[in-house]
Amino acid sequence: MSRDFTLIKYKLILEAFQRNGYAIIAYEDLFTKPIPEKYVIMRHDVDDLPKQSLAKAAIEKEIGVRSTYYFRVVEESNHPEVIRKIASLGHEIGYHYEDLSLANGNFKKAIKLFEKNLAYFREFYPVKTICMHGSPASIWDNRLIWRDYNYKSYNILAEPYFDVNFNETLYLTDTGRKWNGNKVSVRDKVKAAFQQGFNFKKSNEIIQATDKNLLPSKIMITTHPQRWHNDHRPWIKELIFQNIKNAIKKYFYVANPMTE
């Protein structure tokens, strides 16, 4: 299949890693299980259309892959029946927090929201990892809340932007509906020198690099499942919408350097 960002293409990515000796794991597995020699931490940020996340989770279950799904508390992400089904397939559920943005920068209100929302998601799964939502339309970087508070005091093992060593772990993300979308990403990016030299635009390029043994042994991949469709109509809709969004985000980033 020539189209990129389809569920078929996603399965081909997973199979490429599997046939080249990578274990595909959930983020919490890195802290609770023996660490494989070669691994891909597969992380999904469920920003919208959670049923697409369920479709990905089913594919992963089919081929023996366990991954992490970070859900937002807002209505477009937070569908209890989907969360339950994904957890029942054996995947990790985490909290995709954006409390500082929701509290409009009020740190005391934000931490109360975090506590409430973390407790809510723990009704579905014993949440051990969390991950910030980029909130590109907000001036607030949600990670700033941890300048005043400590997430580990809430029995949280890790947060990727703080606890992954990106000087030895390759980070790939489909932000902007491309694999090299650094220029249209407000916050979902890392600046470690180790990342240089890995510039993939299409999923096929990742598959080819994997088959040629060009990738490091430690990788974290972030996808946004609402971008991955087999059916043409939602696929085209997402393509058009994301191109418009990219233009807006690029302007927002240039015009608001303080968001960085």
Q: What is the pLDDT along the chain (260 residues), one digit of tens a residue?
A: 579 999 999 999 999 999 999 999 999 999 999 999 999 999 999 999 999 999 999 999 999 999 999 999 999 999 999 999 999 999 999 999 999 999 999 999 999 999 999 999 999 999 999 999 988 778 899 999 999 999 999 999 999 999 999 999 999 999 888 898 665 455 667 878 888 888 899 999 999 999 999 999 999 999 999 999 999 888 898 878 777 776 665 665 544 544 33
| Alpha helices (H) in the chain, listed in sequence order | 7-19, 29-32, 50-62, 80-88, 99-102, 107-121, 160-163, 203-211, 232-255
pLDDT for 259 equals 39
For residue 71, is it within any domain? Answer: yes
The count of domains in the chain is 1
pLDDT for 184 equals 47
pLDDT for 158 equals 98
At 232, the amino acid letter reads: H
For residue 66, is it within any domain? Answer: yes
Q: Is 214 exposed, middle or buried (0-12, 13-18, 19+ CB in 10 A)?
A: exposed
For residue 12, is it within any domain? Answer: yes
For residue 87, is it within any domain? Answer: yes
For residue 108, is it within any domain? Answer: yes
pLDDT for 249 equals 55
Containing domain of residue 60, as a range? 7-259
DSSP secondary structure code for residue 37 in this structure: S
pLDDT for 132 equals 96
pLDDT for 183 equals 56
For residue 22, is it within any domain? Answer: yes
For residue 214, is it within any domain? Answer: yes
CATH of the domain at 69: 3.20.20
For residue 1, is it within any domain? Answer: no
